[in-house]
Amino acid sequence: MTRRTGRLACALVAVLATASLPAAAAEVQSLYQEHCMACHGESRLGGIGPALLPESLERLRRGDAVKVIREGRVATQMPPFGDKLGMDEVEKLVEWIYTPLEPPPAWGEAEIRASHLFDPVAAKLPAQPGPGLRGADPLNLFVVVEAGDHHVSLLDGDRLERLHRFPSRYALHGGPKFSPDGRFVYFASRDGWITKYDLYNLVVVAEIRAGLNTRNAAVSGDGKWVMVGNYLPHNLVVLDAADLSLVKIIPTVTKAGSSRVSAVYDAAPRKSFVAALKDVPEVWEISYDPDARPIAEGLVHDYQYQEGHFKEAMFSPRRTRLVDCLDDFFFTQGYDTILGSSRSATRGQVIQLDVRQKIADLDLPGMPHLGSGITWKWKDPSGRERTVMASPNLNEGLVTVIDLNTYQTIRQIRTLGPGFFLRSHEKSRYAFTDSMMSRDYRNTLQVIDKQNLEVVAQIEADRGQTLAHVEFTRDGRYALASLWELDGALLVIDAQTLKEVKRIPANKPVGKYNVWNKISRSEGTSH
């Protein structure tokens, strides 16, 4: 097919599709085809631009979507249409792109493999820090996600200055994940793109679109595999970490129905991934150990001699049935137990992965954000040292501190408002929490003393601004906080004096991630 006949065929399909629609729908689809389709795809699944599906746009308010269409996005390929479209036309387009596709779009093996991009030259670059790092410690780098114009910055954690900045896919989500040696970082975007980036040589190695709406991704403890958890379609996708080629698709379908994936994380000591299902009360453990024992399914006569129905364990789910679904979860230090919660429940659950059942309830009111939980060593009034876990709360001004031995609540620390992130460092006496879900106090970080479990200080930005997400340097000397604005910045705070020492301009820096803290699984950061 020639380029010309291909265009004619596409036009014919569009005409026929439009002719069968009601007048209002035909009008808005015609607007989309004229102004949007070239970048966002014929079926709104994305192309040069991101997917325009309600699942992918859930973090973009409709009013903001109107503004984007009318004014465009600075430093992106999104142009303004305010001089071409009337307000009524823009509002019709917004209403349409927030309407789910019926039937839901397919994205299976053929589509995933066809999306694969791999640079063989980049894959052969030297496994040592290149000149672009300017002598910086590769383990004290910060990867900074700037959502304002969809870029990523790389910071030197010693000199506290930007080394490099490069474009990313639309709406990175779930936090970047690193290879065990810290050389590679893997990004997951809302609309399903997984990117492998070489921090030593400052180059993209591979990309693949593993889904249409992705929750997050995890990298195996041995660095060989990447697992992607999707909202759309309902599945888990296993990729080869070397080149991001497709290995396996695992549909998240049970006897109770099909489900989105709430979260997937690596449990390195167990050589497995653990995933929670959002719509079905189950947790799945998926081993990547080639020597893992086969999984029994159905009737089994003898486990020792494997008489009955068994299946290969590698990349096969071992299911734990729960009382309630989990929106997120947190690993204990041994990675054999998870603390999970549902945003609709009044209590959390403690699930032991070896016995595959709930072993305790948690006093977790509101909407705890366990994915942002942290641990530290705490001495009780008798002088006995305990390991505790603390979680912020998306619905209340509350940080809950839990004893990880008894799973009892030690303290409910009141804060100014609902928060999203909690961070610390093993060398710091302080934990930082935000109130970014609060209308009145989203500009304020509160500092918690990890021994007396009290708020002891506040750090404020200008009223109306958002100050959130703290990450420490490798040595714990400085804490970097995000001024979450288009003309924002990274605030560098002395972790002892709590004084601001520097600002690094950034375009809505939604998160920053220190290589060492992540790969060493520091007790003060999320994993």
Identify whether residues 138 and 84 lie together within a single domain.
Answer: no
Cis bond upstream, residue 290 (ω within 30): no
What pLDDT sits at residue 20?
Answer: 46
Domain count, the chain: 3
Give the C-alpha separation, 373 to 423, whole Å.
8
Angle between helices 3-19 and 23-35 (to 10 degrees): 160
What pLDDT sits at residue 4?
Answer: 38
**Which of 214-228, 287-301, 434-448 has the lowest average pLDDT?**
287-301
What pLDDT sits at residue 82?
Answer: 87
Give the C-alpha separation, 153 to 196, whole Å.
15
Identify whether residues 127 and 90 lie together within a single domain.
Answer: no
Question: What is the dihedral sign for C-alpha 425, 428, 429, 432?
Answer: negative
Residues paired with 448 in a beta bridge:
431, 455
Higher pLDDT, 14 or 419: 419
Identify whether residues 139 and 267 lie together within a single domain.
Answer: yes
| For range 287-315, the mean pLDDT | 73
| For range 489-496, the mean pLDDT | 98
Give the C-alpha separation, 270 to 474, whole Å.
26
Percent of the chain with pLDDT over 90: 69
Whether the pLDDT of residue 237 is over 60: the answer is: yes
Whether the pLDDT of residue 94 is over 60: the answer is: yes
Contact in structure between 447 and 414 (CB atoms under 8 Å): no
Identify whether residues 113 and 92 lie together within a single domain.
Answer: no
User: Does the residue 312 lie in any domain?
Assistant: no
Cα–Cα distances in Å, from 232 out to 211, 259, 260, 279, 285? 6, 9, 7, 13, 20
Q: What is the CA radius of gyration of the chain?
A: 24
pLDDT tens, position by position, 145-198: 999 999 999 999 999 999 999 999 988 988 999 999 999 999 999 999 999 999
User: Does the residue 480 lie in any domain?
Assistant: yes
For residue 357 the two structure tokens come to 């059942």
Identify whether residues 454 and 395 lie together within a single domain.
Answer: yes
Please give the span between the terminal C-alpha atoms of the chain, in angstroms, as a whole number.
49
pLDDT tens, position by position, 115-135: 999 999 999 999 999 999 999
Residue 141: CB atoms within 10 A of its CB come to 26
Whether the pLDDT of residue 254 is over 70: the answer is: yes
Identify whether residues 262 and 375 lie together within a single domain.
Answer: no
CATH of the domain at 18: 1.10.760.10
Whether the pLDDT of residue 443 is over 90: the answer is: yes
Angle between helices 87-97 and 23-35 (to 10 degrees): 100
Of the candidates 486, 523, 514, the residue with the CA atom closest to the CA atom of residue 176: 514
Give the C-alpha separation, 237 to 246, whole Å.
8
Identify whether residues 120 and 220 lie together within a single domain.
Answer: yes
**Which of 4-8, 382-386, 417-421 has the lowest average pLDDT?**
4-8
User: Does the residue 309 lie in any domain?
Assistant: no
User: Does the residue 311 lie in any domain?
Assistant: no
Which domain range does residue 516 map to? Answer: 322-527
pLDDT tens, position by position, 44-61: 877 667 788 887 776 678
User: Does the residue 239 lie in any domain?
Assistant: yes
Beta strands in 353-476 (DSSP E): 357-362, 374-379, 385-391, 398-403, 409-414, 422-423, 430-434, 444-449, 454-460, 467-472
Band (pLDDT 50/70/90 cuts) for residue 75 is low
- Alpha carbon of residue 309 to chain centroid: 36
Cα three-residue angle 479-482-484, rounded to 5 degrees? 170
Label each residue of 465-479 as H, E or C: CCEEEEEECCCCCEE
User: Does the residue 314 lie in any domain?
Assistant: no
Which helix (H) or strand (E) segment holds residue 198: the answer is: strand 193-198
What pLDDT sits at residue 2?
Answer: 40
pTM (2 d.p.): 0.87
| For range 14-29, the mean pLDDT | 59
What pLDDT sits at residue 7?
Answer: 39
What pLDDT sits at residue 164?
Answer: 98
CB-based burial of residue 222 (10 Å sphere; 0-12 exposed, 13-18 middle, 19+ buried)? middle
User: Does the residue 316 lie in any domain?
Assistant: no
Residue 436: CB atoms within 10 A of its CB come to 23
Identify whether residues 140 and 242 lie together within a single domain.
Answer: yes
Whether the pLDDT of residue 345 is over 80: the answer is: no
Angle between helices 62-71 and 87-97 (to 10 degrees): 130
Identify whether residues 334 and 454 lie together within a single domain.
Answer: yes
Residues paired with 141 in a beta bridge:
156
Residue 69: CB atoms within 10 A of its CB come to 24
pLDDT tens, position by position, 304-337: 545 556 688 899 999 999 988 999 999 998 999 9
Percent of the chain with pLDDT over 70: 91
CATH of the domain at 345: 2.140.10.20
What pLDDT sits at residue 163?
Answer: 98
